[in-house]
Amino acid sequence: MKFHRLIIFVIPIAAGTGVLFINSFAAGSPRADAVRGAGIVATGADYGVVACARCHAFDGTADGSGAFPKLSGMSAYYLEKQLRDFASGSRSDPIMSAIARKMKPEDIADVSAYYSGVHATPTPPPAATPELLALGTRLATVGDEDRKVQACEGCHGPHGRGEDPAIPPLAGQYAHYIAFQMRMWRMGYRKNDANQQMATIAKRLGPQDIEAIGLYFERVPQPDFPKDRRQP
C-alpha cells in the first residue's frame, strides 16, 4: 500500500524530531509521547486499534477522496477530544467509534501529540463554479444576518486557521468532509459541540450553502501549523 514506503522514511525522522514537538503544542496531555504515537499511526496496536495511516496517511493528508478528514493542523487537545467523543458516543461513526473504543487513554494522547505536529501535503481542490465560491466566501467570512448565521471565520479564525485549542481549522480541509459533518450535526449524529454551537448553525443552512462553504475552505491553503502553533 501507498503509505508503507512513507513509513520507512518517516519513522526515523519522527523519532528524531518528535521530542522537540511534544511539549510545544497547545494543551494536549502533558506527558504524551509523539514517537510512540507515530508507531500506532503506522502499525496500529494488536488489541484492535487499526493503523491510522491506512485512512489518514502518515502525514495526516488522507487519500484525497474527502471520505477521510485531514488531521494535519489540528491541536492535540481537539484530536484527543474527538477520539474520546467517538468512544463515548457523543460523536458517532461506524469506523472511528469502533477504533476509539479500543484505544487506551495513553494511545489517544500519543497519536494526538503525533498528528498535531505533522505537515500535510497540499491536495488539489475539486472544481467549483464562481457562483458557488462567491456564496461560500460570503457565508464563511461575513455570514448571513437575515438567517442569523454567524460568519464561520468569526469562530474558526481568519482564513479558517482555527483557534487553539478548541476550535479546529477548516483551511484546506476536504469540502466533502466539511459538508458531511454539517449534515451529521443537522441530523443529530454529531452532538459534541459545546452549547450546540455547530448544530444550531448547521440547521440554518441548506444543502447548497453547505457545499459552497466546503468548496471555499478547501481552497484556503493550510498555514504552516506546527511552527505557527509553537508556544512561547
In whole angstroms, how close is the CB of 19 to ligand HEC at the nearest point?
Answer: 20
Site for ligand HEC in 184-223 (CB under 6 A): 192-193, 197-198, 201, 213
Q: What is the SS3 assignment for 120? A: coil
Q: Does 150 bind ligand HEC (CB under 6 A)?
A: yes
* 68 binding ligand HEC? (CB under 6 A): yes
How far separated are the first and last CA of the chain, in Å rounded?
39
CA dihedral of 20, 21, 22, 24, whole degrees rounded to 10: 100
Torsion over CA of 189, 192, 193 and 198, rounded to 10 degrees? -10
CB of 172 to ligand HEC, least distance (A): 11
Q: How far is the CB of 15 from ligand HEC (least distance, A)?
A: 18
- List all residues 6 or more positions away from 43 whose beta carbon is below 8 Å from its beta carbon: 51
Cα–Cα nearest to 40, from 120, 119, 121, 112: 112
- Nine-digit cell at 146? 437575515
The smaller minimum CB distance to ligand HEC, of residues 5 and 203, is found at 203
Footprint of ligand HEC (CB under 6 A): 40, 49-50, 52, 54-56, 67-69, 71, 79, 81-83, 93, 95-96, 99, 111, 139, 149-150, 152, 154-156, 166-168, 170, 178, 180-181, 192-193, 197-198, 201, 213
